Amino acid sequence: MTNVRSLEAELESARELAVDDLADAIESIGFECTRCGACCTGHGEDEHTATVFPDEVRRLEDAPTDDNLEGEAIPDAEDREWRDVARPMPYGLEEGDDGLEGETFEWALETDGCGDCAFYAEDEAGVGACTVHEDRPLICRTYPFSVGLAGTSQPMGEAVDSVSLPAQAGADSEDEAGVLRAHECEGLGREISREDAEELARALKERAVRELEEAIGVRDEYEPADREPGEVVVHDSEGAKRVDGTPLEE
Residue 11: closest CA among 204, 208, 222 = 208
Mean pLDDT in consecutive groups of 10 residues from the start of the chain, 250 residues: 71 94 98 92 84 97 83 81 96 86 95 91 81 94 91 64 82 67 96 98 97 96 90 96 92
Q: Is residue 22 domain-resident?
A: yes
What is the model's pTM? Answer: 0.89
What is residue 17's predicted lDDT score, i.e. its pLDDT?
A: 94
Q: Is residue 247 domain-resident?
A: no
- Partner residues linked to 148 by β-bridges: 179
19/195 Cα distance (integer angstroms): 12
How many domains, in total, are found in the chain? 1
Domain span at 79: 7-241
What is residue 169's predicted lDDT score, i.e. its pLDDT?
A: 57
What is residue 1's predicted lDDT score, i.e. its pLDDT?
A: 35
What is residue 144's predicted lDDT score, i.e. its pLDDT?
A: 96
71/219 Cα distance (integer angstroms): 38
180/185 Cα distance (integer angstroms): 15
What is residue 140's predicted lDDT score, i.e. its pLDDT?
A: 96
Q: Is residue 49 domain-resident?
A: yes
What is residue 191's predicted lDDT score, i.e. its pLDDT?
A: 97
Residue 159: closest CA among 167, 151, 148 = 148
Q: Is residue 250 domain-resident?
A: no
What is residue 152's predicted lDDT score, i.e. its pLDDT?
A: 53
What is residue 2's predicted lDDT score, i.e. its pLDDT?
A: 41
Q: Is residue 219 domain-resident?
A: yes
